[in-house]
Structure formats: structure tokens, C-alpha cells
Amino acid sequence: MLNKKNFYINGEWIKPNSSEEITVVDPATEENCAVITLGDKIDVDKAVKAAKNAYESWAFSSKEDRIGLLEKLYENYKKRWADIAKAITLEMGAPKDFASKLQAGTGASHIKSFIRYLKNFEFEKPLGEHAPNQRLIYEPKGVCALITPWNWPMNQVCLKVMPAMAAGCTMVLKPSELAPLSSMILAEIVDEVKFPKGVFNLVNGDGATTGDALTSHPDINMISFTGSTRAGALISQNAAKDFKRVSLELGGKGANIIFKDADPEAIERGAFRCFRNSGQSCNAPTRMLVEKSMYNEAIERLKKYTENFEVGDPKKEGEHIGPVISENQFKKIQALIQKGIDEGAKLVAGGTGKPDGLDKGYFVKPTVFADVNNNMEVARTEIFGPVLSVIPFDSEEDAIKIANDTTYGLTNYIQSQDHDKVKRVARKLRSGMVDVNGAGIAVDAPFGGFKHSGIGREAGEFGLEEFLEVKAVGGWS
């Protein structure tokens, strides 16, 4: 259990003003593992004031000073790597090896990447040779509200905190109340590194009270949010009142197009990517579009693969999936699986209920539906669980049409050995990212989507620029 001082404001761990507490639940055991306080308006005001005061000097700190502090943070992060991974396993059920290699690992990768981009970034540069006395100046956007989710806690926190620090912004971080423990370790690291007081502040809380107080606060200049599309819309409404800058990374319903000339591992690889992290990834390929000439073969392979896919205790080593985050999420997934059955989709593997031998914990059976059409709810709703919907298609044009027939546009996938076809299809898919033949998306590639999948891009140089305003100066000499 955490002590009562679980807010980090102005360089100190403090006891919150609010007395409203909630428990953090280990989703593998359904047992309480920590207690946090939900920050109220007074707590948010303290944190924002600290960030606003710190901005006056931090915004004009040298690039070299910021690089030095971020390099120290990276070294200290590596020392706490095991602690971060253990916290992620406890708070959101990520299996031990996955939590270390990928969950904690992506956080480290982003820190290292942003240091590299900061070193090479020009905060002042000429407009061009045609206008030698015209200057562009990149300046930090100001005080930022950073609101992060529970499904990839350290990945998302580092995608926001590190570029904000690199840009010269100050910030208030509100991690998900379901998985706040790893973020509190990061706050300990920031404290150890001795960033100037008020640059980084952490306030725990929920969306309805703490998040609303943050996003509507008049002294917040920018909001960077990752979470549901519904919450993103509400945040945008709050921000519009005084024209706050907004970056939103929201939901997805990725299509994985399997052409008949796909490589031999494409079917199983697609299922694995859907089920990984217990299906709790916004960029998961949850709609598998299969060319009709190989459709029956694909269904048989998926049935065999899924029936042998392991679900188990996240505290043990190995490549398996753990529970989903909460009882509410478990119930939502169960209802959507039942909805798929009721709508007439063919249940190939999995289904409702928990896997055999896992009566305790929010474990979900990896589930595959065949003969899905794109109008069914399982094909349109972001389920956020290990549920795969398989849809047949006739032609390249048909596949593109089905893939784009969604309100989302985060990540789509193409499996084909025909490079010309891959290029044609990739250009026509309405999504911010396209993964071809399992190549993956680089850690510093722009991460973000079209349509209801959000606004803006995270990671790499694009992620750094999200926290910068551009000023044009004429007559510079």
C-alpha cells in the first residue's frame, strides 16, 4: 500500500487536499494492491501553479541543460527498470517478460529517442536562403496537462513527459487511476535527477473530477491525452473554450489484409498481434480481412492457433497473455462476445466465460469470430480484448473498401509479397500507420491516426514538435 503522500508537486511528495481514496486492484487476483487519492480542484490548482511558476525559467533553459537532465533520467530509469516492470505487472496484469521487454522497454526506448532528437533539433533557424533576415523560432507551448491510459502505462507516459521536458514545457501528469504505480516510480526518478521544482508534477485522480479540473484550467496551455474516443471528444470541448492546444491519441479498429500471396506466418502473426497485451492496444489488428481463395484455410489455422494460445498468471515467465484490466472491462468484453454470437458471427474459438483453471482474475478467452460482416458490432466497436473478427474479401478494391469503412483510422496491416500491390494499398488506406508483413512501426516514427483515432502525432521529431509553437521574426540580423 502507498503512503498518504502520493502527489508530487513542486519538487515534493505531498499529502493531497482531497481525502477521497480509491484502491488499485491487481487484475490477476482481484485483490487490492494499493490506495491512491483522487485529486480535487485545489490539488490541481496547486500543481498547475507550480508548473506555471517553473515555466518562467524552464522555458528559457539551455538545450544542453535539458539534454543533461534527460540523460541522467535515462540512466536512472535503467536502474529502476525491474521495479517499473514489476509495477506494471501488478497494476495492469502484463505478463512478467512482456512487462519488462516491451512495457518498460518502450519507455526506455522513447527516452533515448527523444534525447537523440533534442540534440539535433534547431530551435532557431532561417526561413530560407530567399529570406536571410527572416527567422523561425520554436518555443515551448507552455503548461501542459498530460493524461495517460492504463494499457501501455510507461510507453504513453514517456511519449508525453519526455518531449514536453525536451521542448521546455512544464507539466502536470495525471496517470490512469487504474494503473498509477509505474508513473509514481517515474516521479521518484525525476525527483532523484533533481529537475527544477515545478517542471514535472503528478496528480493522481479520475477523469470526471481530476481530469476535468485539469483540462478546463485557465492556466493550462496544452492538453496531450491518450484514451477513449468518447473522452477525447469531451476534452476537446473543454479545450475549445480558451483555445488550448490539443493532441489526442484515441481508439482504433485496425484491419489486417491477408492476400493469398501472404507469407506462411501471416495468419498466426496477425492473431498474435491481436491477442498480445490481452487485446488492450489501440493499434491491434482486430479485423482480419482474408482473400476468399484462402479463407477456409485461414479459419482452420486460426482455430488451431487460438485453441492452443496460453492465458495465465502474469507473474510467471513465458509468452502468454494475462488478464484484462478490470471487472468493468471484463464485463464489457463478455457482452460484446455474446453480441457477436447473437448477430450470427461464427464462433471459431474461445467465447464467453473465463479460461479453464482461471476462476480468479479478469481473464478472457482468446476468441475468434468467422463469417463476420463489417456492419456487425464486433467489426465496428473497439472491444479492447483478445477478440478477432475475420471478414472475407473478393478483390484488392474490396479489401480497401472494407478496411476504410470504419470511424477509426489508427493502424492498418497488409500481408502480401507483391511490393507494387503493397504500395498501392498502403496509399489508399485511411490510417496514420500501415504495418507491412510484420515489419512493425519504428519507435521514432510518427504515432497517431486519422478520423476518430485522434489529432496529432507522437514519438520522434513529430512528437517533439507537438510541444512547440513556431514564431516568425522579420528583420533578424
Residue-wise pLDDT for 278-311, tens only, equals 999 999 999 999 999 999 999 999 999 999 999 9
Cα 107 to Cα 83, 112, 165, 240, 391, distances in angstroms: 13, 9, 15, 31, 35
Mean pLDDT of 235-264: 95
Instruction: Give me the chain's average pLDDT, please.
Output: 96
Task: Give backbone dihedrals phi and psi of 368, rounded to 5 degrees, phi first.
Answer: -125, 130
Q: Return the minimum-mean-pLDDT range out of 234-238, 267-271, 460-464.
A: 234-238
Give the burial class of 64: count Cβ atoms within 10 A of its Cβ; 0-12 exposed, 13-18 middle, 19 or more buried. exposed
Mean pLDDT of 366-389: 97
In the structure grid, which three cell numbers stand for residue 144, read together?
A: 501542459
pLDDT value at 5 more than 80: no
pLDDT band at 465 (very low <50, low <70, confident <90, very high): very high
What's the pLDDT score for residue 278?
98
Selecting among 282, 291, 458, 466, the annotated active-site residue is 282
342 burial (CB, 10 Å; 0-12 / 13-18 / 19+) is: exposed
From the CB of residue 54, how many other CB atoms can be counted at a distance below 10 Å?
23
C-alpha 457/C-alpha 461 separation (Å) is 10
Predicted local confidence at residue 402, as pLDDT: 98
Which one of the listed residues 91, 144, 158, 249 is annotated catalytic? 249
* SS3 state of residue 128: strand
Cα→Cα distances 105→80, 110, 152, 226, 285, Å: 12, 9, 11, 19, 22
pLDDT of residue 4: 56
| Across 97-125, average pLDDT | 97
Strand spans (E) along 148-305:
170-174, 200-202, 222-226, 245-249, 255-258, 287-291
122 is catalytic: no
Helix, strand and coil content of the chain, in percent to the nearest 5, comes to 40, 20, 35
- pLDDT of residue 177 exceeding 80: yes
pLDDT tens track for 32-45: 999 999 999 999 99
Average pLDDT over residues 211-230: 95
| E strand or H helix that includes residue 470 | strand 468-474
| φ, ψ dihedrals at 366, nearest 5° | -55, 130
| Residue 1 confidence class, pLDDT cut points 50, 70, 90 | very low
Q: Are 219 and 143 in contact (CB under 8 A)?
A: yes
E strand segments, 75-208? 124-128, 131-140, 143-147, 170-174, 200-202
The answer to whether residue 282 is catalytic is: yes
pLDDT digits (tens, 9 = 90+) for 400-429: 999 999 999 999 999 999 999 999 999 999
How far, in Å, are 47, 57, 119, 221, 475 from residue 158 at the CA level? Answer: 19, 23, 17, 19, 38
* 3 has pLDDT over 70: no
Does pLDDT of 126 surpass 90?
yes
Residue 241 in this model has a pLDDT that exceeds 80: yes
- Per-residue pLDDT tens for 44-71? 999 999 999 999 999 999 999 999 999 9
In this structure, the chain runs to a length of 477
In this predicted structure, what is the pLDDT of residue 476?
Answer: 86
The three-state secondary structure class of 473 is: strand
Is 375 strand, coil or helix?
coil
As a whole number of angstroms, the distance between CA 181 and CA 198 comes to 21
Band of residue 477 on the pLDDT scale cut at 50, 70, 90: confident
